[in-house]
Amino acid sequence: MSTANRGVVYKGPGEVAVESIAYPELALGNRKCEHGVILKVVTTNICGSDQHMVRGRTTAPSGLVLGHEITGLVVECGRDVEFLSPGDLVSVPFNIACGRCRSCKSGQTGICLNVNPSRPGAAYGYVDMGGWVGGQTEYVMVPYADFNLLKFPDADQAMDKIKDLTLLSDIFPTGFHGCVTAGVGPGSTVYIAGAGPVGLAAAVSAQLLGAACVIVGDMIEERLAQARSFGCETLDLTQDGDMADRIEVILGEREVDAFVDCVGFEAHACGCNHGKEAPATVLNSAMSLTRAGGQIGIPGLYVTEDPGAADEAAKQGALSMRFGLGWAKSHSFHTGQCPVMKYHRPLMQAILFGKVNIADAVNVQMITLDEAPKGYADFDGGAAKKFVIDPHGSVAA
């Protein structure tokens, strides 16, 4: 078996490169990782969260191997792995979770207490998330494999739907989680802030949950057109005009039942000021546009440190929010990483039984590993695509 390996490496603001990296070992520091597996990566996706690092908006160090959205084939198992075997095709939750701590036992796998010495929660290839090697690679090691991995019941069937199933590692559960925590249900009216891949996944999720009307707002027409392609209403946020007035035109009411923030800390002001960064603008819009007693799901990323922020407060993650309005309207806010394992099996079933076409909704674009730097550049330019890397040509074949 080949022990060569290559991966996408962050070099500095605006620069990634595909380089030779170490082949993974079943090891955690100086000890054997008997509960882990090594995967041959079948698909690995470029995420908007990766883009924050590549833009230089975090404290990510040069040399970080990127990638937390992974689907792969098991090629080697540690001694203590009982329920997986070489040849199994699996989805990897982007959350790394031990399965043993208080958080994991309560289903809060996004804030595992044992996999990151700095804070609760860990992820592959991400700044301050435990130092785990990322999966935009040819091979990667996954710990606590029996607990973490979702095995597809039929590998051939899974490969037929791999463009959809690859989205189970992050953005489909994340978008779904945003809607669930916003209280979306049958007959709901929903506003989705942001038409990037997570926003589009949230819009599909809202429909899957039975929403009556899903409105998606963004500043890029190509992305809004993608949202309209599967039945969403849209708002072009580069246009002037009060948002409540514009929502009233669609709904006959000025507020929605549920609001999902899929933008996060790099938000920009709407209307004539849309080129100006305003990190709290989506959160403030959420409180203005959500009905009294409504819920606000916030899967969009907010950081504790943003060295590229426009003001000193935002550099420390401190935002100017009109929180009193949310209090007065009895809003519920739900933040944080999606606990992927809570959702990935039922969403897999929805895909396998043809209830949702998530790859079409987010416009999956397959690329090779060597095309990853261009994928990052195109994504940063606002392309209405979800770039999925096929490092071994498995999907192409």
The CATH number for 234's domain is 3.40.50.720
Distance CA 163, CA 42 (A): 11
Q: Answer whether residue 154 is part of any domain.
A: yes
Q: Answer whether residue 107 is part of any domain.
A: yes
Has residue 278 got a pLDDT over 90? no
Residue 153 identity: P
**Residue 1 confidence (pLDDT):** 61
Q: Are 282 and 293 in contact (CB under 8 A)?
A: no
**HSE value, Cβ hemisphere, 13 Å, CA-based, for 190:** 36
* Band of pLDDT at residue 276, cut at 50, 70 and 90: confident
* Band of pLDDT at residue 268, cut at 50, 70 and 90: confident
Regarding whether 359 and 294 lie in a shared domain, the answer is no
* Band of pLDDT at residue 172, cut at 50, 70 and 90: very high
Distance CA 185, CA 78 (A): 42
**HSE value, Cβ hemisphere, 13 Å, CA-based, for 116:** 24
* Band of pLDDT at residue 133, cut at 50, 70 and 90: very high
Contacts of 384 (CB under 8 A, 6+ apart): 195, 220, 222, 223, 225, 226, 363
* Band of pLDDT at residue 115, cut at 50, 70 and 90: very high
Contacts of 106 (CB under 8 A, 6+ apart): none
Tokens of 33: 């990782």
Mean pLDDT of the chain: 95
Q: Answer whether residue 395 is part of any domain.
A: no
Give the mean pLDDT of 342-362. Answer: 98
* Band of pLDDT at residue 272, cut at 50, 70 and 90: low
Regarding whether 31 and 145 lie in a shared domain, the answer is yes
What are the pLDDT digits (tens) for 177-215? 999 999 999 999 999 999 999 999 999 999 999 999 999
Has residue 225 got a pLDDT over 80? yes
Regarding whether 148 and 21 lie in a shared domain, the answer is yes
Range of the domain at 76: 6-170+339-389
Q: Answer whether residue 364 is part of any domain.
A: yes
Has residue 242 got a pLDDT over 70? yes
CA distances from 51 to 55, 122, 277, 301 (A): 6, 18, 16, 11
Regarding whether 203 and 164 lie in a shared domain, the answer is no
Regarding whether 19 and 81 lie in a shared domain, the answer is yes
Q: Answer whether residue 394 is part of any domain.
A: no
Q: Answer whether residue 396 is part of any domain.
A: no
Regarding whether 323 and 245 lie in a shared domain, the answer is yes
Q: Answer whether residue 326 is part of any domain.
A: yes
Regarding whether 23 and 137 lie in a shared domain, the answer is yes
Has residue 328 got a pLDDT over 90? yes
Report the 10 Å Cβ neighbour count for 312: 8
- Burial readout 61-98 (b: 16 or more C-beta within 10 A, e: otherwise): eeebbbbbbbbbbbebbbeebeebeeebbbbbbbbbbb
Tokens of 7: 């991966």
Give the number of domains in the chain.
Answer: 2
pLDDT more than 90, % of the chain: 87
The CATH number for 357's domain is 3.90.180.10
Regarding whether 166 and 17 lie in a shared domain, the answer is yes
Regarding whether 160 and 280 lie in a shared domain, the answer is no
Of 334, 364, 380, the last residue of a domain is 334
* Band of pLDDT at residue 308, cut at 50, 70 and 90: confident
Regarding whether 217 and 88 lie in a shared domain, the answer is no
Regarding whether 329 and 189 lie in a shared domain, the answer is yes
- Among 153, 141, 170, 168, residue whose Cα is nearest residue 35: 141
**Residue 318 confidence (pLDDT):** 86
Regarding whether 137 and 243 lie in a shared domain, the answer is no
- Among 155, 133, 164, residue whose Cα is nearest residue 38: 133
What pTM value is reported for the model? Answer: 0.96
Q: Answer whether residue 1 is part of any domain.
A: no
